[in-house]
Structures are given as C-alpha cells and as structure tokens.
Amino acid sequence: MRRRFWLIWSWRDLKRRPVQVIVIALIIAIGTGLATGLSSLKAWRVASNDATLAALRFHDVRATLPEGGDAREGTLERAVRGAPGAAAAREQLVLPTQVDASRAGETVLVPGRIIGQPVEAQPAVDALAAERGRVLRPGDEGRAVGMLDRTFADRRGLPAQTRVRLAGGRELRSVGWAWQPQYLIPAEGSLMAGASAGGFALVFTSLSTAQDLAGRPGRVNQVVVRGRPGVTQAELERQVRAALDRALPGAGATVTRGLDEPAVHVLYQDAEGDQKIWGVLSLLVLLGAALAAYNLTSRTVEAQRREIGIGMALGVEPRRLALRPLLMGAEIAVLGVLLGIALGIPLSAMFRALLESTLPLPELRTPFQTGQFALWAAVGVALPLIGVLLPVRKAVRMTPIEAIRIGFRAAAGGGLAPLLARVSVPGDSLVQMPLRNVVRAPRRTLITVLGIGVILALVVAFSGLIDSFLQPIDRARAEATRNAPGRVTVSLDAFRAADGPQVRAIAAAPAVGAARAQNLLPITLEREGEEIGAALTLLDPARPGWRPSLREGRWGSGVLLARQAARDLGVRVGDRVVVRHPLVTGPGRSRLVRSSVRVDGIHGSTLRPEVYGTPAAWGARTGLTGLANQVEVLPARGSDPDAVIRALFGGDGVASVRAAAAPFDDLDETMDRFLAYIYAVEAFILLVALLVAFNSAAISADERRREHATMFAYGVPRRTVLLQGVAESGIVGLLASLT
C-alpha cells in the first residue's frame, strides 16, 4: 500500500507539470540519441569495412609498374608466385581513359580509368560484386563488355544496362554496377583523388578487352596478391619486392600493402580520425543535454521545497519526504531513456543513410550499439538524478521554516544581490528586478548558463566544422582558376614528345586558344620518417598559362609545396626534402629513384598533395626532357571548357580531358550530401537549446507566481511583468552566449 501511495503521489507530481516533464525527457532523449548515433559511426564503419573486404577477397599486396611501364602478360604473376607467402595472384592492366556516358538531354563526359583483369568464375583475389545487373563472366573475356563503378553510375543516374564510349571512339556495353575493393573509393591518382565519384568513372572489363582498347596486346602493368594464412602484409611485401627484383631487375615496381591503399586509408584511418571529432561532439551533446536536464530537474524539485517544509513541520520523516521527488526524477529519467530508444531508431536510419551516401559499400553493418547506448544513457540518467538528489538533500536538512521559503528567497544571503547595492544601476526597482533575480541565485544561474552555453558552443562547433570543410575547398578552387578560369587539362595515354604530332594536334584544335605541354607524376615526399603521397606537376612558369601563386619563396631548381605539406614534413623555404619519383629509362620502362631537392617556396593552394617544379630542373631527374604526359589548354575566344572537351575527346593520344574546376564542382555535390546530415544534427542541437530555454523560462515563471500576483495586486501592468521575464531570460541568454 505504501509503495502504491508513493507511486501515485509521484505520478500526480508528473501530471502537475506535464510540459516541463516531457521537455526534460526530450532533452535527455535527444542528447542520448545523438551521442549514441555519433559514437556508433566508427563501429559501423569498421564492421562494414571488414565485411566488405572479406567478401570481395581484398588483396594483401599490390605491385605496380612505374608510369608508362608494362610487362608481358604472365611475367608479373610468375614473379610474385616466387614469394613463399603468396597464395594467389592476379594481373591487371590499369590505364587512364575518357568516358562518354551521355544520354538524351544530358552530357556526361568525364575522365576515368580502365581496369582490365582476367575474368574468372571465382576470383581468388579482388573479386567484383554487382549492385545492379550482373558481374562479368568467363564468356565475356575479349568482348566489348564491362561494368561501371557503382558510385559513378548512381551519381549520374545511369541504368545498369547501358553503352559508353571510351577514348579512341571505342564503344563498350555495361552490364552492371560494380564494386571492387581497391576502388571502393574511386580515385584519380592525382590531387583530387577520391574526392568525388560523380566526375570520375571506373570501367571494369576483361584483361584482353582492356589490352585491345589500349592497343597493348599481351601487356600488363599491375599484379595483386593475397597472402597465405599467418603471413603478415609487411612480410608479404618484403617477399614480393624481393621476388620482383630477382625476376625483373630494374623494373622499379611500387609495392603497396593493402592497408596502405588510398581506399582503405579512407575507410579505416578516416574512421579513426573522424571518431575523435564525433567522440568530442558526442560528449558535448550529452553534457549540454545532461546539464540542462540537471538544472531543470533541480529547479523543479526546489519548487516543491515548500511542500517538503510543510511535511517536516507535520512530523513526516525526511527520508520519506525525499522519496517523492526522487521517484519523480527517476521517472523523468526512465521516460528520457524510452524516448531516447524511440529517437535512436530514426537517428540510426539517418546515420546509416549517411554512410550509404558518403561511403557506399556492398556490405553494410549498422546494428544498434546497445553498449554505447547504455553508456550514454547511464550518463544522461545520472545527472538528472543528481539534480534531484542535491536539492532534496539540502531541503530535508533544513528547518521547516527555511524549507518553506522558495524562489529566489531560497538562496542563502541573497546570492550576489547585495553586491548590486554598491553598484549604481539605472532605473527603478521594477527595472532592476530582472538583473537582481539573476544574481540572487548564482549557482542556479551558473548551471543554466553552462547548460545553454555548451549547447550554443556545439552549434558554433558544427558551424566551424562545416566551414572547415568548405573554406579550404573554396580557396583551392580560387587558386586553381585564379588567372585562367576556363583552363582544361588533357591527359595523354603515354609519355609523348612535347612537340610531337599528338600535342600539335591538340594545340591546333579550333576550340583551343593556347596549349602548353607539361607532366604530372605521382611522387612521395620523405623527411625524417614522415612520408606524404603527392602529385608533382612540371610546368614552365615563363610560358603563357596558369601557374600557382606564391606565398613564400620563388621558382627554382627544387619544388614548391603546399603550406600544410611543409608543416607536416617540418620544413621551411630553403630546407631539403627527399622526393621518390619515377625515372623513365626507355619506351615503356621506368624505375623509382630518390632525389634530395630544395624547398624553393610555398604555393597558395590548400590541397596538401599539390607539388610543383619546372621541366628545366626536373627533366634530367625524371628522364622526361622533351616528353609530356599532359597538356594544359586555354579555350579560344568564344569557346568554353565544354567545347574544348567535346573537340578533343577521342583524339589521337588523348586519354582524358577535364576542366580544372570540374573536380571542385563534383566535390560540391558530394559535400552537399554530407553536409545535409551535419545540418540535421545541428537542427537537433538547436532544438535542445530551444527546449532548455523554454523550460527554464517556464520554471522561472512558475516559481514567481506569488510575486507576480502581488505585483498585479499593486497595479503593476501585465506587460511590465512580461517584459521582466523577457529581460531576465535575455540576460541569461547573453551570459550563455558569452560563455
């Protein structure tokens, strides 16, 4: 009977303040749901990555011949099978291309890459998976049949069964949307690698078809290897490197561990790095919500102190009087947890959609993180209960007459209000009352300010997070187009003579106003154990055309680095850095070498991989004197980048054509999808701030009902009382904003 009595009484307390109770529970629910969703992203990503790479039998090691190099089919596979730890190997031919997937009413003309590999029923390494259509079958070997990578096809709205034209005018029929582990994050191998899939196309086809399309019959330039059980990737890498050195001395193949692949780096390393950000934001979200709930529950209980004092005066035991508000606090906390579970379902769906949009994987694992929810729910429940326990403990230890005093009079000594007596504050007592009400209960005001302040800090943090994404991109876009907004980059299918017929044909096209041969090389910057993958562009700054701006230094015989790359390497202008780069030793032959060069300057781009040098300084180092694999084009008067792209598509020696601004335009589309969810999270946080402000004002008004009634009895207009409440809330809001 007693238990039922207390439950009924606490239930009546809840019904007396239904709006306040529901708002407090919603604050706990939103804080718990957001914290659980944000902190679950890493677990979901890692579980999805593991399942995907296992299902597609991702390689442990990849060996790639230098730019422009290739080998006879079978040579690379036989070489790596000499490694004791190698269990399976598969040769590939990977080449740049241009993809025309235009349809009626829409032009889709983008650079891309052909990935040719033997078609097997059950590949032992780097299998294909199809989201739509079908995978390639052994019967497709040698036929003009392929698959488009899933992300590109989805972003461009292409059907599974479609036809595309490739550089050289060859046509290929797509039979499905493909996933392959190495290209889960499509990458161009240049400064915008992996940034956007909508502006870059991957075409998977059979090895013999790729050889035919590229005009390289019987040639390959890459091999992927899976190791035997128990063999680490580091050990397999050493074995494969040694095997290639024995079988192909001087080939200069780059051997990359599977865990070091750009796609895997994005999938795993970014998950780890992003989780640090999400973890801090999760903690701040829940801290702000919990502080708000603590403040509101404590003020709700303080409003009951009059009843507690009356109970003590009637001789009721303090522990029994404490039971009623504690039950109410527990019920609010339980309601918050239940609402958190209900809210967690749509939030989980939202974050799952985020993963599908930004990191599309064939195997998604996003189970509800019960452990994470229990952890955050425990924190979210504990603080409101403390918010009940502390004022109850204080109330039952008072004398009845002290406990009966409520509102601002409950603050011993009037808080900081006596200090105002020594400060000249303009206005009469009614004007000063909002400020005096704020300082009479400093602890309460401080907790309210901290609760709202943390939430406002979260809004600022998310706004800063958005700016941190957008501003570097905008600055890089402005840098890339600063003195040549319409420039177009033409990638050649191999190293060609800088004054050869292919380059002259590009320069002579009617849509072309000016052309400049140059080179783009994949490199690695090294210094004191630190390594950075980068792309070295060799251009002549004295010739008409685009050139990067200089923040420090000047053009010389070394390199220009981005400021972030210089910071990461710990170098300044005048220091030296080691560059690992290809050295072309003959037609189709090259090897990797290291050169120690001077840092001549810092360029203006915010993209860390961008590195620049001059052909005069690097010609001998790279063996590219008189050669080029890229042509920079400026449109003729009256022409535009689209006209240049259409004019040069399919030309002799042209692998791909792309406007300099295109990667940034594609990236904008990708960022818009991602930022939509950031805005959604920010909206939830703003909702918490609104709920806190509403409940704080409601409780303050409830506490001052007697004061307001007295003021009305003395003829104070209602608008004056209303303006006092607005002013008091405004002071608290201003303090929270300053905090």
Tell me the pLDDT tens digit for each residue of 269-303: 666 666 666 667 667 766 766 666 676 666 666 66
| Residue 189 in this model has a pLDDT that exceeds 60 | no
In this predicted structure, what is the pLDDT of residue 1? 45
Mean pLDDT, the chain, whole residue set: 80
Phi/psi of residue 116, nearest 5 degrees: -105, 135
Position 388 confidence tier, pLDDT thresholds 50, 70, 90: confident
Model confidence pTM above 0.85: no
In sequence order, what E strands does 528-609 have?
Answer: 530-538, 550-553, 559-561, 576-586, 589-603
What are phi and psi for residue 554, nearest 5 degrees? -155, 170
More confident residue, 213 or 589: 213
Chain segment 114-147, per-residue pLDDT in tens: 999 999 888 999 999 998 999 999 999 999 999 9
Residue 173's pLDDT is what?
93
- Could you tell me the two tokens for 540? 């002549």
- Stronger pLDDT, 26 or 256, i.e. the higher one: 256
Q: How far apart are CA 15 and CA 581, in angstroms?
A: 74
Which of these ranges, 14-23, 101-110, 531-540, 643-652, has the smallest mean pLDDT? 14-23
Q: Which residues pair with 524 in a beta bridge?
A: 533, 580
Handedness of CA 717, 723, 729, 734 (dihedral sign): negative
Q: What confidence tens digit (pLDDT) does each residue in 511-568 have? A: 998 899 999 998 989 998 888 888 999 999 888 888 899 999 999 999 999 999 999 9
Confidence grade of residue 196 (pLDDT, cut at 50, 70, 90): very low
pLDDT for 413 equals 47
Strands (E) in 476-549, as ranges, are: 488-497, 512-527, 530-538
Q: Which residue has the higher pLDDT, 44 or 386?
A: 44
- Least confident residue range of 161-165, 194-198, 289-293: 194-198
Encode pLDDT of 168-180 as tens digits. Answer: 778 899 999 998 8
pLDDT digits (tens, 9 = 90+) for 691-717: 777 777 777 777 777 777 888 887 888
pLDDT value of residue 192: 38
The per-residue pLDDT for 402 is 67
Instruction: List b or e across 551-561, with b for residues whose CB sees 16 or more CB atoms inside 10 angstroms.
Output: ebbebbebbbb
What are residue 144's DSSP bridge partners?
A: none
Tell me the range of 8-12, 132-136, 331-335 where mean pLDDT is highest: 132-136
Return the exposure string of 321-349: e unless at least 16 CB atoms fall within 10 Å of the residue's CB, then b.
bbbbbbbbbebbbebbbebbbebbeebbe
Pair 146, 175: CB distance under 8 Å: yes
Task: Give pLDDT, residue 660.
Answer: 82
What mean pLDDT do residues 94-113 have?
Answer: 83
Q: Is it the case that residue 408 has pLDDT exceeding 60?
A: no
- CA–chain centroid gap for 102, Å, is 30
Identify the pLDDT of residue 190: 38
Return the C-alpha torsion angle 337, 339, 345, 350, nearest 10. -110
pLDDT at 198: 62
Query: Which token pair is 447?
Result: 């907790």
For the chain, what percent of residues have pLDDT higher than 70? 82
Contact 494, 631 (CB under 8 A): no
Average pLDDT rounded to a whole number, residues 596-624? 92
Bigger pLDDT: 735 or 611? 611
User: Are the C-beta atoms of 629 and 584 separated by less than 8 Å?
Assistant: no
- Using 50, 70 and 90 to split pLDDT, how confident is the model at 328? confident
Q: Are 403 and 434 in contact (CB under 8 A)?
A: no
> What confidence tens digit (pLDDT) does each residue in 527-540 have?
988 888 889 999 99
pLDDT for position 418:
57
Confidence of residue 727 (pLDDT cuts 50, 70, 90): confident
Res 172: pLDDT: 92
The mean-pLDDT minimum among 186-200, 512-526, 567-581 falls in 186-200
Q: Using alpha carbons only, how large is the chain's radius of gyration in Å? A: 34
